[in-house]
Amino acid sequence: MVSMKDISAVCGVSVATVSKALNDQSDIGKETKRRIRQAAEEMGYFPNTAAKMLKTNRSYNVGVLFNHEDYSGLTHDYYAFVLDSLKRTVEEKGYDITFINTYKARTGRTSYLEHCRSRGFDGIAIVCTDFYSPEILQLVMGGIPTVTLDHLFNNVCAVMSNNVKGMEDLLTYVYNKGHRKVAYIHGADSAVTQSRLASFYRTAGQLGLSIPDEYIRMSPYRDTKSAYRETMWLLNLKEPPTCILYPDDFSAFGGYNAIQARGLRVPDDISVAGYDGIRIARHIEPTLTTLRQDTAELGRRVGEKLINLIEHPKTTLIETIVVEGHVFEGNSVADIHEGAEDTAAKRRKHVGTDSI
């Protein structure tokens, strides 16, 4: 097996210089670094991972807790893109990721904290789970560097999508299209739902919108059947809304189906808006108006913050990082101002081409 000592002999430098070059330290000249790395590659050098772990007291492995309630797993468009960005970020820093075994915790064979300690994870990214469970609280208080996505704990770093401003921007966009009867089918209770619902009511008040109680309904996230039923309920009202907001884009597909089943059309008869900005929503007709979350930035910021906590624990601030989204206009919200028909007809010809 080729060692750093062998490389140092070939390159005529010290073992310490070889180590610094292979670890990309800044106090080695570019040409020296290039020459050492080229020699290492040609000689077939592979770093001794076990020795590196002993020297640094790190496993260079981070755990990712992802346990979505509907068991959609990595087929969940929003989380799939967040996790892909997180994976690429930590890998660029020389770390691997391992998904935390949620089955063991569910069956009581071991707790999340025990499992993470036994695997020697350097850090943990909690992307999706029941944040209110005692096992999660035990995990975040267990002393392992941790970053959460879209949930706040005391003294724990968090990366949050700006759900408050996102809902404000989405409802304001709908209002500016002339809609005054706006219903909101929100998701099941969570920190995200609470933020969006509070922002919906606050924004409605600022805009002077009156929101009847019957315009507020609940449907679990990504549940098209439930969204279908709630849409039918709203359409049966004496004064149905002119626009319905959905908890996520996938749920909005259930709304599309219900509207079509009633012989109505989106957006000519009723307007629809989603939330998340998943790619498939731009491949339906009409393309879905939605609040597009920046999944690439969310995953990147989780990964960067976690690595900083691991490598610079004394200087890394415990903070909440907020990532902005933006309204993707799509074609599913009609302009219902007087004389807007020509504009609406032109707008419906446009098909969005952005990628998630």
Q: What ranges do the domains of the chain cover?
A: 4-47, 61-162+297-323, 163-294+326-348
According to DSSP, the residues that pair with 184 across neighbouring strands are 216, 245
| 156, pLDDT greater than 80 | yes
CATH topology of domain 61-162+297-323: Rossmann fold (3.40.50)
Query: Whose structure tokens read 């999508």?
Result: 161
CATH topology of domain 163-294+326-348: Rossmann fold (3.40.50)
Strands (E), 277-313: 289-292
Among candidate residues 330, 288, 181, 200, the one with its CA nearest the CA of residue 244: 181
| 202, pLDDT greater than 80 | yes
Pairwise CA distance, residues 219 & 186, whole Å: 6
Domain 61-162+297-323 and domain 163-294+326-348, same fold? Reply is yes
Q: Write down the pTM of the prediction.
A: 0.78
Average pLDDT over residues 258-272: 97
Pairing of strands 326-328, 289-292: antiparallel
pLDDT band with cut points at 50, 70 and 90 for residue 349: very low
Q: Residue 311 carries which side chain, given as an amino acid letter? A: E
Residue 271 has what pLDDT? 98
The CA-based dihedral angle spanning residues 75, 81, 87, 90, taken in that order and rounded to the nearest 10 degrees: -160
H or E stretch at 310: helix 295-311
Residue 143 has what pLDDT? 93
Pairwise CA distance, residues 317 & 302, whole Å: 14
pLDDT in tens, 14-29: 988 988 888 778 788 8
Token pair recorded at residue 49: 């991972």
81 contacts 299 by C-beta, under 8 angstroms: yes
Taking only Cα atoms into account, the Rg of the chain, rounded to an integer number of angstroms, comes to: 25
